[in-house]
Amino acid sequence: MATVDSALHDAAEPAGYPREWEFDGLLSNGEAVVVRPIRPADAPALVGLHGAVSPGTLHRHVLLTGPALSLEAAAGFSEVDYDAQMAFVALVSDELVALASYDRLDAPVPTAEASFMLADAYQGQGVTTLLFESLSEYGRARGILRFIAEVKAGAGARLMGFGHRVYKNYDPRARVIKKLADDVFQVTGKSPLLDIALELEKIALEDEYFVSRKLYPNVDFYSGIIYQALGLPVAMFPVMFAIPRTAGWLASFGCAGCERNCATIVSMVWRCQ
């Protein structure tokens, strides 16, 4: 992974650089992270990031899908106009570990295609969440009403909150909690992220790919956006998802194969911690 020289942090910023969108955050593993708009000087670090991502996940950033990234291509990508083209990077100890970008599309509804790229070592640490929040809020401030991303066949990534291993049609529990979500929104109002989630739901319910595979919103899709509306930090979502499932997990102790079930339950609880 390429190291971003600390001197570059104070390098001359390009015209229109939105410095006010820089911020410091904290990852799930306790490491500090800096999220900021991309700069042309980040090009060498983008080449290093490309090499730090396993081939199976390269597709997650549509502009960096090849087996290698040249410095020339990275330089061209790092020069954005901070409007129709935008990108945020995440740095940990001056190492560029993740990238999120969007390109505005020519569509009746203001739409942008969002892409993400994350170093393998930082999977599951909350980096993508921080980048997506920045990207979506930035886009909303510039009139973008909808984001799309690659989640379909051949992507290797899954659209979380859709589909269920038991319910092969619309999750009946989702109908109940969707009404609850609407009630919550009447009190809290809808944030840009909630609008994006609901637009994603609408697209998925109408898209042939999702409909033909019976990938309907499940109960966790709605409970997640309710938790967000209530102001709960994203890092607490797994805990909140686990609490109502605890009774079922504990009931497994009374079933045959208790030793195997116990190991599964301990693994689930450990991951939530």
Tens digits of residue pLDDT in 38-55: 999 999 999 998 888 876
Q: For position 152, what pLDDT does the model report?
A: 44
Class of domain 6-148: alpha beta
Q: For position 148, what pLDDT does the model report?
A: 67
State residue 179 phi and psi, 5-degree precision. -65, -40
Longest dimension (CA), the chain: 66
pTM of this structure: 0.60
**CATH T-level topology, domain 158-232:** Cytochrome p450-Terp; domain 2 (1.10.230)
Collapse the DSSP code of 253 into the 3-class scheme (helix H, G, I; strand E, B; otherwise coil) and give the result: helix
State residue 171 phi and psi, 5-degree precision. -60, 115
Collapse the DSSP code of 174 into the 3-class scheme (helix H, G, I; strand E, B; otherwise coil) and give the result: helix
Hey, how many other C-beta atoms are within 10 angstroms of the C-beta on 34? Answer: 17
State residue 42 phi and psi, 5-degree precision. -80, -5
Q: For position 111, what pLDDT does the model report?
A: 81
Beta carbons within 8 Å of 90's beta carbon, 6+ residues apart: 33, 34, 35, 96, 97, 98, 99, 122, 127, 130, 131
Q: Which residues of the chain have pLDDT under 70?
A: 1-12, 55-66, 148-171, 190-201, 203-205, 207-218, 252-273
Sketch the domain layout of the chain as residue ranges: 6-148, 158-232, 235-273
H-type alpha helices, 85-125? none
Q: For position 37, what pLDDT does the model report?
A: 96
Q: For position 39, what pLDDT does the model report?
A: 95
Q: How far apart are CA 177 and CA 163, in angstroms?
A: 16
Q: For position 106, what pLDDT does the model report?
A: 83
Hey, how many other C-beta atoms are within 10 angstroms of the C-beta on 170? Answer: 15
Q: For position 5, what pLDDT does the model report?
A: 45
Q: For position 137, what pLDDT does the model report?
A: 87
Are 111 and 149 in contact, with CB atoms under 8 Å apart? no
Tokens of 83: 């409007």
